[in-house]
Amino acid sequence: MRTLVVLDAPSNLGLRPPAPGTVPGCYKLAGALREQRIVQRLGALEGGVVVPPRYDRGDWQEGDGVFNAAALARYTRTLADRIEGHVRAGEFPVVLGGDCSIQLGATLALRRIGRYGLAAIDGSADFRHPGNSNRIGAAGGEELALSTGRGQADLTDLEGLGPYLKDEDIRLFGMRDQDEDRTEMAALKISNATVGEIREWGPAEIARAVVQTLEIPVLDGFWVHLDADVLDPSVMPAVDSPDEGGLLPDELAPLLRTLVRSPRCAGLNVTIYDPDLDPDGTAGALLTDLVVGAFAETGPEGKGR
């Protein structure tokens, strides 16, 4: 295995406030997973922190586009600088978010290097854009659309490199079976597997089949995006939008492990878990176990390998 490097990206710029006068607590994700000794348990190098700008929507109103856009653009470039350096050095970055907008930093970094795919393990497609919604604002629900060039140019075409991803290079895992975005995904030929389909085919089996479609000469590799809301709320209630019918830990574990163990996988980011919604730390411990287990060779965290 390549050298793992844990890098914190504690940005909450892409989420709406959970209540007036408050900010989303997912910026504490990295700290909570570090309290679970994720760096030591992974045997990873210390990558430090990419400090985000202040969360401040100012006088933003519905209809103004993506809020925190200037701060998001600045943070995306800075995070991309760090991720790019690790990937070019042959290291495997494990990026601890943060909300899902940190994925823009990864996709921009990889676009600078070449053509990469994305395997997104997420409870939703995060594909809201002006062509399908009049509620544009939170980049954390729009990052896949932004990465594919759908949305405002100050986020979709940074450094003149947009789109950062091609539709045909995206693989989605974990959308709920009733997700209305499936119709658009099918029309765009964006590959996706719902929770029901993952269960029908088997998580490891479907992941192996998908990895083969990403390990192709036209691609230089692929990135893995893990959103904690892919898990069912019965085991992961500490997310901003908990939806019933998600994956269970013993389903996510082989799926994630199969993806990150591919020699063509360039890195992983982890997002959305909110420690403010997890007072006893149980959900954070589970998430840490799943990430560590994906890389473990033997022992309790590698069970089922």
Q: What is the mean pLDDT of the segment spanning 72-87?
A: 98
Which domains does the chain carry?
4-295 (3.40.800.10)
Is 99's pLDDT higher than 80?
A: yes
For 153-179, how does the pLDDT look when each residue is reduced to its tens digit (9 = 90+)?
999 999 999 999 999 999 999 999 989
Q: Indicate the average pLDDT of the chain.
A: 95
Percent of the chain with pLDDT over 70: 97
Tokens of residue 116, six digits: 């990469």
What pLDDT does residue 1 have? 67
For 24-55, how does the pLDDT look when each residue is reduced to its tens digit (9 = 90+)?
999 999 999 999 999 999 999 999 999 999 99
Q: Is-contact 5 94, C-beta < 8 A?
A: yes
Contacts of 176 (CB under 8 A, 6+ apart): 123, 124, 194, 195, 243, 244, 245, 246
For 101-126, how does the pLDDT look when each residue is reduced to its tens digit (9 = 90+)?
999 999 999 999 999 999 999 999 99
Q: Is-contact 256 150, C-beta < 8 A?
A: no
Is 299's pLDDT higher than 80?
A: no
Percent of the chain with pLDDT over 90: 94
